[in-house]
Chains A and B, each alone.
Chain A
Amino acid sequence: MKEFFERVRRATSGRSADRGAGADGSDPEESDGPAESGAAVTDGGVATGSDRGGTTGDDPGALRRAFDRIDDRLGRDFVESSPFWLPAFLLMGFFVYGAIGWNVLISLTDYRGFGTVDYSQLDFDMYVRAFQSSAVQQAAINTFVLLLGFTIVCLIFGMLLAILLDRRVRYDNSLRLIYLLPMSLSFVVTAQFWLWMYDYSNGIVNQVLGLVGLGPYNFIGNPQLVLGAVIFALVWQYSGYAMVVYLSALRAIPDEHFEAAKVDGASVVRMYWRVIVPQLRSATISAAVVIMVFALKAFDFLYSLVGGYRPPNGADILATLMVREAYQNTNWAYGSAIAVILFMMALAVIGPYLVYQYRNDAL
């Protein structure tokens, strides 16, 4: 632990020393830059502008311009406003990004069992081990299937529900509530609830299927069915969310678009397919991102389904594997490596969305 802080201190002081040297050495005028620009503001900015323009030729000028640009971007009240954003910034930085960083660091060690972490030997052994492990591969595939299957089914189902509700069926307010209610349940409740529904001998699903001469199926015990059963239960819980997102997007489309399409001769299905659904693109993206993140967090559902670290065969996902490795087998470093892989998957989902939002100035 001591070594770690030592290392961090050395790294940071080195970096700041570097920067100090660079700033001092490259441009002697830099130190009185702020005073100069402060004075210049009172007698008009033109003089400073031309002044700075004069030094553009060489490297120090470019550096200074970059600094100016940062100043411009952060604004003049950067320091004055810091009491408002700095505490949150620091807390967030420490507890979220600091923790992520620490987790990455642990994943590079060989830490396992009880004892202290040894940071002296950092390597990618755990990642190599993870990528070679068939358990991790299977869990990654399951995670991927769950992610895609759950998201796609949820979106399609939610969109169909929203379209039906948008066509002003009777009691649409109460229907909306009924569809949205499952989302307020905790995963623990949903898991227990569906465990009963899927019960081999008494479960209502098998009872109903029995009426039409099917089954009974062992939904939880059969490794081929269990992932589908889990996806179905999650869709039941989250399609209401997709529906609400789609419904508000649908309500924002003016009636004239529906009417114009009708007058243009499009059938109802064609109208939705060509005119309405394409306009739901941004709703799809935002709903998909939220649902995918839920899918990656399906750990509590699977944990509650069996009441333990070992989910049913065929339903092991990275999240359950990660927790099992870390807390059951005390393979801390290995668990951390799986956590980083999971984090990267989540980032791959949410990253493009953030970039998209940023480009559209929505962030």
Chain B
Amino acid sequence: MSQLQLDKLTKVFTDDDGSDIVAVDGVSIDIEDGEFLVLVGPSGCGKSTTLRMVAGLETVTSGDIRLGDRTITDQKAQERDIAMVFQSYALYPHMTTRENMSFGLEESTDMSTDEIYDRVEQAAELLGIAALLDRKPTELSGGQQQRVALGRAIVREPEVFLMDEPLSNLDAKLRSSMRTELQRIQEDLDTTTMYVTHDQTEAMTMGDRIAVLNDGRLQQVGTPLECYHRPANRFVGGFIGEPSMNFFEMTVEGDRLVSDRLNYPLSAETADAVAGSDRVTLGIRPEDIEIVDRPADDHAFETVVDVVEPRGNENSVYLMFGDQETEENPETFVAIVNGMSRVEAGEPVVAHVPEDAVHLFDADSGDALRNRVLDDLDETEPRV
């Protein structure tokens, strides 16, 4: 168990025609001892490449990887004392569960057969797969295979766990139960873990911290709630959260934001924050939009309900501005309202966009100029 440091890690692939593709661009992250760090981003953002560089399965173009006090950048995968769980599980099909789990110990340590046997039994006990030890992978269900893959990593008692979308081949129910179980196991073992996923729900629920990656660049590293409430830029704001944050392109005109359909007055404090920009992007989370009967102040706008997606506990309401009703593809935005409230498609409603909850991003760089007002972020932290 050790601290894992990525220092300006860069990976450049050379294409067949000789052009360079930068997959990972100067990523620096410090992962504390025992921390669960989730690397999240859309497909092709370089998160898997980053993980594979840490595993030693990809060479590093530049930068350093340090594990504890040794630099492992140029070490072979075999020597790194790292265990990895693959998306496809990669169980050896000709070996039983027990042989699959023993393999790593047999190859990487000089433990006796008895010791290996005990370790495997222990890990199998922890994962509830003790009864499956003599079966072959083909005789296991997807969830069981997943546990074996996890067990294969756990028995090694490595310094770092690397997990490459380990839950994405499971069905939704199993995935959410494995999510909690994985967290429990990681907390029990207290092993530094780097977990790659494209699923922001997994990132939010599992990680001690999240690292958001886009186009090979690190966008933000922070606790899940920091990333949610204080996105460093427009990408993070849009990526974290489901349904995504609503964005409106606006022009700054003095102390108000103006677009074709909106005219949003700003308080003096907020106006200061955007003073340096001409054009900004206004971001508002769906749950922060309130649907009211009549405009209470000048932050409320007349809209028409386009579609309602009921989800039981809450409804996603897709709204459009009234003058768009005749358009082919009206520009809609989402509000989340209580599941009990009755809203029907076609109904005119008033959407209130409270200024406290508004995020403002620079339209060119995407950097956050102002994040929502929170009384105290620390109070909403689930754990420290």
* Contact B104 A264, beta carbon cutoff 8 Å: yes
* Contact B56 A264, beta carbon cutoff 8 Å: no
Taking the closest CB of chain A, its distance from the CB of B154, in whole angstroms, is 13
The reply to whether the CB of B55 lies closer than 8 angstroms to some CB of chain A is yes
* Contact A257 B108, beta carbon cutoff 8 Å: no
* Contact A265 B104, beta carbon cutoff 8 Å: yes
Chain B positions 98-121 with a Cβ under 8 Å from a chain A Cβ: 103-104, 107-109
Question: Which residues on A sit within 8 Å (CB–CB) of B83?
Answer: 263-264
In the complex, what residue of chain A is closest to B162 when comparing beta carbons? A263
* Contact B94 A278, beta carbon cutoff 8 Å: yes
Which of B57, B76, B107, B162 sits near A264, CB closer than 8 Å?
Answer: B107
Could you tell me the distance between the alpha carbons of A266 and B103 in the complex, rounded to whole angstroms? 9
Interface residues of A toward B: which range? 10 to 19
Could you tell me the distance between the alpha carbons of A261 and B56 in the complex, rounded to whole angstroms? 12
Interface residues of B toward A: which range? 20 to 34
Which of A263, A274, A275, A279 sits near B77, CB closer than 8 Å?
Answer: A263
Q: Contacts A257-B90, A275-B92, A279-B93: A263 and B107 contacting too (C-beta < 8 A)? A: no
Taking the closest CB of chain B, its distance from the CB of A62, in whole angstroms, is 37
Could you tell me the distance between the alpha carbons of A265 and B84 in the complex, rounded to whole angstroms? 11
Could you tell me the distance between the alpha carbons of A290 and B77 in the complex, rounded to whole angstroms? 39
The reply to whether the CB of A129 lies closer than 8 angstroms to some CB of chain B is no
In the complex, what residue of chain A is closest to B82 when comparing beta carbons? A263
Could you tell me the distance between the alpha carbons of A270 and B108 in the complex, rounded to whole angstroms? 11
Question: Which residues on A sit within 8 Å (CB–CB) of B82?
Answer: 263
* Contact A266 B86, beta carbon cutoff 8 Å: no
Question: Which residues on A sit within 8 Å (CB–CB) of B28?
Answer: none
The reply to whether the CB of A254 lies closer than 8 angstroms to some CB of chain B is yes
Q: Contacts A256-B86, A270-B107, A274-B103: A263 and B57 contacting too (C-beta < 8 A)? A: yes
The reply to whether the CB of A267 lies closer than 8 angstroms to some CB of chain B is yes
Which of A254, A267, A275, A279 sits near B78, CB closer than 8 Å?
Answer: A267
Could you tell me the distance between the alpha carbons of A256 and B76 in the complex, rounded to whole angstroms? 16
Question: Which residues on B sit within 8 Å (CB–CB) of A265?
Answer: 78-79, 104, 107-109
Which of B78, B88, B152, B162 sits near A266, CB closer than 8 Å?
Answer: B78
Taking the closest CB of chain A, its distance from the CB of B18, in whole angstroms, is 16
B-facing mask of A253-281, CB < 8 A → 1, else 0?
01011011111111100100011001101
Question: Which residues on A sit within 8 Å (CB–CB) of B156?
Answer: 264
Question: Which residues on B sit within 8 Å (CB–CB) of A278?
Answer: 92, 94
Which among A260, A263, A265, A266 has the greatest number of chain B C-beta atoms within 10 A? A263
Could you tell me the distance between the alpha carbons of A263 and B56 in the complex, rounded to whole angstroms? 8
* Contact A262 B90, beta carbon cutoff 8 Å: no
* Contact A256 B94, beta carbon cutoff 8 Å: no
Chain A positions 233-256 with a Cβ under 8 Å from a chain B Cβ: 254, 256
Chain B positions 54-100 with a Cβ under 8 Å from a chain A Cβ: 55-57, 76-80, 82-84, 86-90, 92-94
* Contact A256 B90, beta carbon cutoff 8 Å: yes
Could you tell me the distance between the alpha carbons of A275 and B103 in the complex, rounded to whole angstroms? 9
* Contact B90 A254, beta carbon cutoff 8 Å: yes
Question: Which residues on A sit within 8 Å (CB–CB) of B79?
Answer: 265
Which of A260, A266, A274, A279 sits near B90, CB closer than 8 Å?
Answer: A260
Question: Which residues on A sit within 8 Å (CB–CB) of B89?
Answer: 256
Question: Which residues on B sit within 8 Å (CB–CB) of A274?
Answer: 103, 107
Could you tell me the distance between the alpha carbons of A274 and B87 in the complex, rounded to whole angstroms? 22
Could you tell me the distance between the alpha carbons of A267 and B78 in the complex, rounded to whole angstroms? 7
Could you tell me the distance between the alpha carbons of A126 and B82 in the complex, rounded to whole angstroms? 69
Taking the closest CB of chain B, its distance from the CB of A266, in whole angstroms, is 4
Question: Which residues on B sit within 8 Å (CB–CB) of A254?
Answer: 88, 90
Taking the closest CB of chain B, its distance from the CB of A256, in whole angstroms, is 3
* Contact B108 A264, beta carbon cutoff 8 Å: yes
Which of A259, A267, A270, A275 sits near B86, CB closer than 8 Å?
Answer: A259
In the complex, what residue of chain B is closest to A266 when comparing beta carbons? B107
Question: Which residues on A sit within 8 Å (CB–CB) of B57?
Answer: 259, 262-263
Q: Report A's interface with B, CB cutoff 8 A.
A: 254, 256-257, 259-267, 270, 274-275, 278-279, 281
A-B contact pairs, 23 of them (CB 8 A): A254-B90, A256-B87, A256-B89, A256-B90, A259-B57, A260-B84, A260-B86, A260-B90, A261-B107, A262-B77, A263-B55, A263-B77, A263-B104, A264-B103, A265-B78, A265-B104, A265-B107, A265-B108, A265-B109, A266-B78, A266-B103, A274-B103, A281-B94
**8 nearest A-B pairs in the assembled complex, by CB-CB distance:** A265-B108, A256-B90, A264-B104, A260-B90, A266-B107, A262-B77, A265-B107, A278-B94
**Apart from the given pairs A259-B57, A275-B92, 17 other A-B contacts in the complex at a CB distance below 8 Å:** A256-B86, A256-B90, A259-B90, A260-B92, A261-B103, A262-B56, A262-B77, A263-B56, A263-B57, A264-B83, A264-B103, A264-B107, A265-B104, A265-B108, A266-B78, A266-B103, A266-B108
